[in-house]
Structure 1
Amino acid sequence: MTFEAEKRNDAGVVAIVVSYEPDLEHLSKVLTAVASQTDHVVVVDNGSRKDVGGLVSGLDDPRLQFLPMGKNLGIAAAHNAGIRWARDWGSKYVLLMDQDSLPDPGMVARLCSANEMLESTGNRVAAIGPRFRDSDSGRLADHVKFGKWRIERASCSSGEQIVKVDFLISSGSLIRTQTLNVVGDMDEALFIDHVDTEWVLRARAKGYLTWGHCDAVMTHSLGETRRRIWLGRWRDVPIHKPFRYYYIFRNSLLLQRRDYPCREWKRVDRVRLLQLASFIVLFHPQRLAALRMMSRGLWNGLSTPR
């Protein structure tokens, strides 16, 4: 879908930047860049030992707000704390950002303009997000959609500025506050993994669509060691710390048991879990610890109330 660029329109945007033991120098760059494109930036800190509050204060920018959580309550709880602040302020949009995601100039304006255009033509927009550039490789990632058995690319064709997608990472996602009021906030019980997936699937079940912008870009650190392996095709698989596999498998099974996630996601995710389990068995450098966390996650995912 194409449209003419509109006048910069990011009034009423509150960015929510979640921090946890960040690189303070890089976080300073992120906050400065995000503040230049939004009305306010709420830094929600999940119990860092580093002096994030001191950094925010030292930047001496009235657009920056600091919300300490006191301890690590998870990404969903941090997002919800920021969303509450944004609602109280009366924001039109919230922009979810990671501590290491650096927006290109004009990113927020492009997302806002596209959202306004989509809604003006009758679309119910869940969220719209940018493409991200891997900070290590420099590679610009494609947007994604559900294929028959795996996640596939939703490539930006020549001349297209926005494409319909099935999934967005939380960082860079622009969401209208009114949409959050209808769909609901993030699911804090999930803590970290699949928080973005669950919200998009819940929005989809309520008739809202998700979009990716082809020209809005941010630089994003994947923050993980990756290993290139053959599992049906060549792929770069992230090597997580063992505790993450607990949340990955538990939360996948929790969502598989709920009634609103679409069949396409459930099918693709089952294949992904089988591939991930195979990777852990064959390649993970902390195989036994990762398998213990995976097994615990599978058990709790089946036994925990949905």
Structure 2
Amino acid sequence: MNICCIIVTYNIDNEFEKCFHAIKDQVDKVIIVDNGSNKDTLNYLDKINGEYNIKLIKNKQNMGIAYALNQGVKYALKNNYDWILTMDDDSEATPNMVSTMINTYNSIDVNEQKNILGIFPHHIEVGLKCNNMNNVNLDKNNELFEYVHSDITSGNLLKRETFDIIGLYNEDLFIDYVDHEFCYRILEKGYKLIKLKNAVLFHRLGNTKQKNFLWKKNNIY
């Protein structure tokens, strides 16, 4: 089983190094798609590209999150990766997050596995107190996951066949609603999404860097 991770970067800050190192050893390949970043970002990406076995794709301008994700997905499909993980450049995976996601999926009845296309981790917004991972509790029924209708793109682990079934990300959407529209299409086809409670991702929700993007407002229905 081969797993790759797609990280879309745009004018990264000091947190990126920690985020990159947290995920690089949990997957077989890291694909970084840069969306027209500044010189400092490009210099750093060139540096890690020389040090680690990553795939670096550079866009000359900001093409939007959907376009960049699709570039990474096309590379992953061409190179026969079984699972594709999408990550923001400021989200930090906890140790064993990816293996926990795979192991939990494998513990599900085989017939039900066929209906599941995407897996989400439990997101913790940075700034909230969680000094001990034991503070992340399971629900009363001790279930490891729940079915969800949608969640954010960062930390989403997808089967490769997802893109054969529903297609790529909607490039008419620059940033806003890309994740929810994608999830909507999965559900519309009759497939399911699960959110785990024992795999954790630290996420910087709504950070100020997003204000640098030119947002497009589109109706998705």
TM range (shorter): 0.7 to 0.9
Distance 1:185 1:119, change over 3 A: farther
Q: What TM-score results when the alignment is normalised by the length of structure 1?
A: 0.64
Q: Secondary structure at the match of 1:97?
A: strand
Distance 1:212 1:193, change over 3 A: same
Residue in structure 1 matching 2:36, options 22, 47, 70: 47
Distance 2:197 2:105 in 1: 13
Distance 1:105 1:156, change over 3 A: same
Offset from partner CA, 1:141-178 (integer Å, 9 cap, x none): xxxxxxxxxxxxxx843511111111111000000111
1:133 aligns with 2:133: no
1:69 aligns with 2:59: yes
Q: Which residue of 2 aligns with 1:287?
A: none
Residue in structure 2 matching 1:116, options 103, 106, 110: 106
Distance 1:79 1:196, change over 3 A: same
How many residues are aligned here? Answer: 212
Q: Which residue of 2 aligns with 1:230?
A: none
One-letter code aligned to 2:158: I
Taking CA–CA contacts closer than 8 Å with sequence separation of 6 or more, which of the two structures ends up with the larger relative contact order?
Answer: 2
RMSD, aligned CA: 2.3
Distance 1:119 1:67, change over 3 A: farther
Q: Check whether the contact 1:91–1:177 (CA below 8 A) recurs between aligned residues.
A: yes
Offset from partner CA, 1:221-278 (integer Å, 9 cap, x none): 11437xxxxxxxxxxxxxx85987x63xx32xx223xxxxxxxxxxxxxxxxxxxxxx
Q: Check whether the contact 1:156–1:162 (CA below 8 A) recurs between aligned residues.
A: no
Which structure is larger by alpha-carbon Rg, 1 or 2? 1
- The share of aligned pairs that are identical, in percent, is 30
Q: Secondary structure at the match of 1:67?
A: strand
Q: What TM-score results when the alignment is normalised by the length of structure 2?
A: 0.87
Shift of 1:132: 1.3
Distance 1:242 1:50 in 2: 16
1:255 aligns with 2:213: no
Offset from partner CA, 1:153-205 (integer Å, 9 cap, x none): xx843511111111111000000111221111100011111101011100111
Shift of 1:33: 1.4
1:87 aligns with 2:108: no
1:157 aligns with 2:147: no
Distance 1:241 1:56, change over 3 A: closer
Offset from partner CA, 1:196-224 (integer Å, 9 cap, x none): 10111001111111100001001111143
